Amino acid sequence: MRVGMLTSGGDCQSLNATMRGVAKTLYNQRKDVEIIGFIEGYRGLIYEDYRIMKSKDFSGILTNGGTILGTSRQPFKLMRVPDENGLDKVEAMKNTYKKLKLDCLVVLGGNGSQKTTNLLRQEGLNVIGLPKTIDNDLWGTDVTFGFQSAINLATQTIDCIHTTAASHGRVFIVEIMGHKVGWLTLHAGIAGGADIILVPEIPYDINKVAVNKRAKEGKRFSIIAVAEGAISKEQAALSKKEYKKYIATRQYPSISYEIGAKISELTGQEVRVAVPGHMQRGGSPCPYDRVLSTRLGAAAGKMILDGEFGYLVGMKNNHIAKIPLADVAGKLKMIQPDDEMVQEAKLMGISFGD
Ligand code: F6P
């Protein structure tokens, strides 16, 4: 049995732990398994760049962040566009799969990557998707691996900022990853005790973000957790083209700096911005992710042995769930403004600036 495996898109802490779960299950259950690891995601599958893996390659990697296979971003929208040498990428991927006589391909990837996995399914390949992303925005699964580890890191950043904010009596903005969705900001914001949480799904009014209320209550500092993709009500009303233009010409490095400048202007308070950036994807997976990855990996391994393909292996109510890739592709799991967590946060005074 020959199984192809690749890690695609932005990395996260728990990719190796997940691959280990798949590989150990396969090696443990069958003697004739050969795993082919594609280098740097779909790039390796397109250009036949791969390694024949050995069982020992998957040992000792449970706690290692990053990916032993490397990764790259190969946008779905360009998959049907020939490369600079006129190569048809989809045909190339199918050829590699056939040439290597693969029985299936396992893709560890997020939203964009799983669209390509689904495309390969439509093209007749046996595929299985595993839900990777610190953003937790994959439709159909309650959780993705990497999310919890990133929450831990983003929360630690807010914790550190809290003490310095309190000492200096400043307003601090912590910018948290997530361009389209705010799950990471919502969770880390609540875990870190942020006073204001701004996420892309709930456009803010800068006058409501102004932190005067806390200052009037005698509180010397405020913490604002802002998602990379947070958006004001005015910006949300722009057309896609106008919004792109505004981003391209914005005088600030990111939305947090823009919000910071506006708050200073409106309140006269001193504002500082902290951006942990890619630190949020780094380091070792937390124990929760190690368990999640091991479970998802083992379940994917079993599905390969049983010949069940065309699914994303996810979690529903703490049970393994097989979600058809056809249902997952192209959908995002976003925060709804009336989500329980948002309502609970609002009940105890956390502002979303809306
Ligand atoms: O999808 C994961 C993620 O970390 C997002 O939260 C973030 O917006 C994006 O990737 C950053 O991408 P890149 O690593 O290409 O800068």
Q: Enter the pTM of the model.
A: 0.96
Residues facing residue 162 across a β-bridge: none
DSSP string, 143-171: --BTHHHHHHHHHHHHHHHHHHHHHHT-E
Is pLDDT above 90 for 211?
no
Is pLDDT above 80 for 122?
yes
- Pair type for strands 196-198 and 271-274: unpaired
pLDDT 10s digits, 305-338: 999 999 999 999 999 999 999 999 999 999 999 9
Is the CB–ligand 1 distance for residue 177 below 6 Å? Answer: yes
Q: What is the mean pLDDT of residues 81-102?
A: 98
pLDDT reported for residue 212: 76
| Ligand 1, atom 5, residue with closest C-alpha | 178
pLDDT 10s digits, 12-71: 999 999 999 999 999 999 999 999 999 999 999 999 999 999 999 999 999 999 999 999
Confidence of residue 266 (pLDDT cuts 50, 70, 90): very high
Q: How far is the CA of 126 from the centre of ligand 1 (A)?
A: 28
What percent of the chain lies above the pLDDT cut of 90? Answer: 96
Q: How many CA atoms lie within 13 A of 278 on its CB side?
A: 4
Closest CA to 233 of 202, 261, 187: 202
Cα gap 286→327, rounded to integer Å: 29
pLDDT 10s digits, 272-297: 999 999 999 999 999 999 999 999 99
pLDDT reported for residue 136: 98
Q: How far is the CA of 181 from the centre of ligand 1 (A)?
A: 11
